[in-house]
Structure formats: structure tokens, C-alpha cells
């Protein structure tokens, strides 16, 4: 007995077309799977190893282009052949851009179908194209970008790096607020002095005041010695207060005095100490809204905002994604693989399209994982599923009992490899009834 060749999935809402394609392809010794909807096709793709996807474009609810886009990212190694009865130049270009490997117009001959299938299967082993990127790096090679918003930030940094004006850095979590703060410090004339970073959200509220300003022996239970705080440790340099919105009102009052008078008082002491510290604060909170709710001091807010830097989310600086990807590939390629890796154009396109709710931190984590999971080229299959194209099926369409019965019969036939006797047994009906329902 001759073994069947590759598995081919054909998708068309016209049952007659499906039967015709099945007969013609089976004569060529291919193993055929059929689907009358995109939803059914996704089920087959998930459960079966498919070597070629053949689909019509115009189908109810979800069309074939959506299926092509989905398969291109979730099953990138499967070639896609589109069959349509509505040919046009724009349509052909749109199909190819969506990820199809070939385009066949109805009506077609058996020979044309044979050649198109053969050509598409040969494309399964096509070489992945690579995009090399040039890098624009600034400020100690940590901050990278070419977008207008990035250039605006570097302009402000260059203005404040050599003075000790108080700076407030605002932006969503993961946008690189601490990198901006370090760039201000290390690119200026105070770079040899200390840079101390404090996450106000990570220190319990009752301990934050003591950690910032220091304390004297016996000031509270457990204070067994005199101890300097972060203000003293960063004297002459920069104190970076991250998540400043988490500081209590009592701590805020002492911060205000430190900014106004350039002096602090340790917990448990009456003696003031002069300080020479540049304060850079950062937050992802809306401080104006917190002021309205009496959760943040308005006078402290104005003291902190001598200079404001707003770090935009990554979705608003898409031009910088390519440069950041290259930076992280180099970083983790050398760390994990002892070599440089590349990324395919298809994988990079997905990264540039994604909205990145976790911003640069999320992008770095994705690249870190992709480097580990790939050899020399990061491709679509090395990216997490949540980044890839999704098909949104209509949620409010209730189906009739006949439609549900039809879908279930098709599912049973698929699971039995179209064995009608077995399917009838599972459905607990006779073959004659099953034949009538199939009509």
C-alpha cells in the first residue's frame, strides 16, 4: 500500500467546492482535511499537523484573509494557497501581504491546481530573510532611540545634567524612568558622586522615613545605633526617589523641608544637618489627581516639578523598537549563547505591531526568552502567542439547533477520519439517517 503524501487542509464554505478539491487532491495522493468555516479550520490546525493550507477568501462571519494572517503567525512554517473567484490586482497584493505563498483564480484546471500545490509545498523550506539594524546609542549606551520623543528627552537631559535642579520623571511602568534618571546623573559633571536609587513603594511606610533621613540610637524599637539615611549617603550626588506617590503625607512633609531648606533631621533627633543633594523623583501615578484627593501635597508637587520629563510608552515610539530589539539581542546573545543572533523580518514586524502594555521591560523579557529558545535566528515561532494575530469571532450570534447539530456531526466525522459507520455509532443513529443529515 502506497503511503499518503502531505496533509492538506482545504477551507471553503461551499461544500461542492470542498468535495471537488478533495477528489482532485486525493488523486494526487495527498491526505485531505476539510473545513467549512474559519473556526473549524482553527480546530483542525490545532489538532493536526498540516503541511499546506488552501482557503477561499470570501466566507461568512470571518473571511479567509483573517485565517491567512492568523496562520502566518501561529503556524509560520505552513505555506498558504488562496483560491478565489474574485480576481483583481489589489486583491492579489493584499493576499500576498497577508502571508499567502500563492494565489489561484477560479475556475482552474487540474494541472493548474497540481502546479500551485507543488509550488506552495516547495516554499515550506524557504530561507528566512534577516534585517540588520544600525544603532543609535546615547548616554552611556543605556538609552537608545531615534524617535522625536526620545530626542526631546535627551535634549532635556543635556540641559539639566550639570545643575542640581529638581526633576520629576513621569511615565508608565516599564518605560525606563530610572534609566532617564541615571542618564542625568552619569552624563553630567556630578557623575563621580553617589547615585542612590530608592523605591518608595518597596519600603514599608513606617520605615521609609528612617531609611531616607536616618535615625538615632533608641529612636524606636530595634534602633540599636545611630545610622545615616539615603540623603546622607547620596550627599554631593543624586537621590532618585522612585514611586514617589507611595510616600506618606508625613514623609512628604519632611521631603518638602529638605527641598526648601537643604537640611534634614534624623528620626529621634532635634539636630538638623545640611545636605547637598540633587533630587530626581519618578512616578507612574497621576499626582494631580492625588492632590485633589488629598493624598499628595500640592506644595511638594511644585517643588518636585522644577523640570518635568514625560517618558512616553513604547507604543508611542514605535520607531525605537527595532533599535531596542537589536540592543537586547546583542546583550542576551552574548550572555546566553556567546554569539550574536539575528531576527527575521516577520518576527520584527510582529514586535513593531504589538502595543507593549509592559513597555520596554516587557520587550526585554520577550527578547530574553526568544534568545534562549532560538539558535541563530529569532523567528515568529520563538515569540509568545499573545503577541501574534488574533481572530475575533462574533460574540452575539446565537445559532439554531440545526446549525449546532451540523457542526457537531462535522466534528465527529473529522475525529473518525470520515468513517461514517463509526460516526453513526458515536451519534447513536443509523447510517441512513446520517446520510440524510449530510445531504
Identify the pLDDT of residue 87. Answer: 55
Which domains are delineated in the chain? 1-126 (3.40.50.2300), 148-314 (3.40.50.300)
Identify the pLDDT of residue 92. Answer: 58
Identify the pLDDT of residue 122. Answer: 79
Identify the pLDDT of residue 152. Answer: 94
Q: Give 424 or 172, the one with higher predicted confidence.
A: 172
pTM of the model: 0.67
- For residue 4, name the pLDDT band (cuts at 50, 70, 90): low
Residue 124 has pLDDT above 60, yes or no: no
Average pLDDT in the chain: 86
Model confidence over 318-342: pLDDT tens digits? 999 999 999 999 889 888 888 888 9
Q: Which of 79-93, 165-179, 227-241, 316-330 has the lowest mean pLDDT?
A: 79-93
Identify the pLDDT of residue 389. Answer: 87
> Prior bond to 408 cis, omega within 30?
no
Identify the pLDDT of residue 349. Answer: 93
Model confidence over 132-161: pLDDT tens digits? 444 444 444 468 888 999 999 999 999 999
Amino acid at each position: 500500500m502506497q503511503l499518503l503524501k502531505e496533509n492538506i487542509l482545504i477551507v471553503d464554505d461551499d461544500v461542492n467546492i470542498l468535495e471537488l478539491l478533495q477528489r482532485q487532491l486525493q488523486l494526487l495522493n495527498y491526505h485531505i482535511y476539510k473545513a467549512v468555516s474559519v473556526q473549524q479550520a482553527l480546530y483542525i490546525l490545532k489538532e493536526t499537523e498540516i503541511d499546506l493550507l488552501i482557503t477561499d477568501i470570501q466566507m461568512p462571519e470571518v473571511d479567509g484573509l483573517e485565517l491567512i494572517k492568523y496562520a502566518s503567525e501561529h503556524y509560520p512554517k505552513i505555506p498558504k494557497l488562496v483560491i478565489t473567484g474574485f480576481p483583481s490586482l489589489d486583491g492579489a497584493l493584499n493576499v500576498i501581504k497577508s502571508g499567502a505563498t500563492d494565489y489561484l483564480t477560479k475556475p482552474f484546471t487540474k494541472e493548474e491546481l497540481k502546479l500551485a500545490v507543488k509550488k506552495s509545498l516547495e516554499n515550506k523550506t524557504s530561507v528566512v530573510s534577516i534585517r540588520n539594524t544600525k544603532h543609535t546609542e546615547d548616554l552611556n549606551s543605556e538609552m537608545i532611540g531615534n524617535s522625536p520623543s526620545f530626542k526631546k528627552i535627551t535634549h532635556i537631559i543635556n540641559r539639566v545634567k550639570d545643575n542640581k535642579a529638581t526633576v520629576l520623571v513621569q511615565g508608565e511602568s516599564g518605560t525606563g524612568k530610572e534609566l532617564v534618571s541615571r542618564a542625568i546623573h552619569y552624563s553630567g559633571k556630578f557623575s563621580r558622586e553617589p547615585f542612590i536609587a530608592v523605591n518608595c513603594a518597596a519600603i514599608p511606610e513606617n520605615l521609609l522615613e528612617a531609611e531616607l533621613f536616618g535615625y538615632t540610637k533608641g529612636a524606636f524599637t530595634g534602633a540599636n545605633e545611630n545610622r545615616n539615611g539615603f540623603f546622607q549617603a547620596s550627599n554631593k550626588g543624586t537621590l532618585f526617589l522612585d514611586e514617589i506617590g507611595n510616600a506618606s503625607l508625613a514623609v512628604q512633609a519632611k521631603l518638602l523641608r529638605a527641598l526648601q531648606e537643604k537640611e534634614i533631621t534624623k528620626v529621634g533627633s532635634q539636630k538638623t544637618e545640611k545636605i547637598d543633594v540633587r533630587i530626581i523623583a519618578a512616578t507612574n501615578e497621576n499626582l494631580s489627581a492625588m492632590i485633589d484627593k488629598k493624598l499628595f501635597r500640592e506644595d511638594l508637587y511644585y517643588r518636585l516639578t522644577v523640570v518635568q520629563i514625560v517618558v512616553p510608552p513604547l507604543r508611542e515610539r514605535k520607531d525605537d523598537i527595532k533599535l531596542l530589539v537589536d540592543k537586547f539581542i546583542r546583550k542576551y546573545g552574548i550572555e546566553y549563547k556567546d554569539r550574536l543572533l539575528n531576527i527575521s523580518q516577520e518576527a520584527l514586524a510582529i514586535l513593531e505591531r504589538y502595543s507593549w502594555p509592559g513597555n520596554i521591560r516587557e520587550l526585554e523579557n520577550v527578547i530574553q526568552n526568544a534568545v534562549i529558545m532560538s539558535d541563530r535566528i529569532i523567528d515568529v515561532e520563538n515569540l509568545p502567542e499573545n503577541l501574534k494575530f488574533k481572530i475575533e469571532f462574533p460574540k452575539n450570534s446565537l445559532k439554531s439547533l440545526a446549525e449546532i447539530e451540523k457542526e457537531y456531526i462535522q466534528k465527529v466525522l473529522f475525529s473518525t477520519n470520515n468513517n461514517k459507520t463509526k460516526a453513526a455509532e458515536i451519534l447513536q443513529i443509523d447510517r441512513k439517517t446520517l446520510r440524510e443529515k449530510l445531504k
